[in-house]
């Protein structure tokens, strides 16, 4: 290339352009759904955030529910896959002697690391999961995408607590996921309650404490 000449622009294929448009739509929808939930967002809202006409959204998605499910599924496979792999590895390494705290560290830390390392997009997804987990439409998606990894955790907890009634283990998981969803919501309430001593977006501080705290709860159920 001669001095002073402009660099040659690389033309993107139509497939690449479509993929980029789709990612922009999913990112915008993820952000809006994380703030307002399924019923608080319209396709027009998403289109305006992306800067496109709503007809483009209809090109990719039949309706808002289809968009919502695509947003949820995009990252669900990543987080559930990472946790399943980590739990399976832990089950092999622990052999006949898994511990409650060890299993919870794997399940919780693997997920929290993903949000810490993933930055704002993953934090938005975390908030989305927290917001919709207690809604009918969100619970349905949780069932589809997360039941296998949850049941894997439960199977390890059963081995770690052979004398604990099965219903107590499921209640224990229920309390764990409640605390996790409250954390992922990042409401800022703990910031205000603690006078700034704690911060709701400090997932590293949560990671340092949550597995140990929850393990003590499981163990107390044996008394």
Instruction: Name the one residue in this structure whose structure tokens are 């709503």.
Output: 54
With contact defined as beta carbons under 8 Å apart, do 130 and 184 qualify? yes
pLDDT at 3: 56
Whether the per-residue pLDDT at 1 is higher than 70: the answer is no
Whether the per-residue pLDDT at 7 is higher than 80: the answer is no
pLDDT at 10: 57
155 versus 7: which is more confidently predicted?
Answer: 155
For range 169-173, the mean pLDDT: 96
Whether the per-residue pLDDT at 141 is higher than 70: the answer is yes
5 versus 71: which is more confidently predicted?
Answer: 71
Residue 86 binned pLDDT confidence (cut-offs 50, 70, 90): very high
pLDDT at 20: 83
Per-residue three-class SS string for 3-26: CCCCCCCCCCCHHHHHHHHHHHHH
pLDDT at 66: 96
Domains recognised in the chain with CATH numbers: 14-220 (1.10.357.10)
7 versus 42: which is more confidently predicted?
Answer: 42
């Amino acid at each position: 290339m001669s001095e002073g000449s402009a660099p040659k622009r690389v033309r993107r294929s139509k497939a690449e352009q479509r993929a980029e448009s789709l990612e922009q739509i999913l990112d915008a929808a993820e952000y809006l759904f994380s703030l307002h939930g399924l019923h608080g967002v319209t396709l027009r809202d998403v289109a305006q955030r992306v800067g496109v006409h709503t007809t483009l959204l209809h090109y990719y998605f039949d309706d808002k529910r289809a968009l919502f499910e695509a947003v949820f599924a995009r990252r669900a496979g990543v987080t559930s896959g990472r946790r399943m792999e980590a739990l399976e590895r832990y089950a092999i390494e622990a052999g006949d002697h898994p511990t409650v705290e060890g299993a919870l560290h794997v399940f919780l830390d693997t997920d929290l690391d993903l949000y810490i390392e993933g930055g704002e997009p993953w934090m938005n997804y975390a908030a989305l999961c927290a917001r919709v987990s207690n809604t009918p439409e969100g619970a349905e998606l949780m069932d589809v995408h997360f039941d296998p990894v949850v049941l894997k955790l439960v199977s390890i907890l059963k081995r770690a607590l052979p004398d604990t009634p099965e219903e107590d283990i499921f209640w224990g998981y229920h309390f764990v996921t409640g605390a996790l969803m409250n954390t992922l919501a990042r409401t800022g309430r703990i910031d205000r309650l603690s006078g700034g001593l704690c911060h709701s977006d400090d997932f590293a501080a949560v990671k340092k404490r949550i597995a140990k705290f929850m393990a003590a709860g499981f163990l107390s159920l044996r008394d």
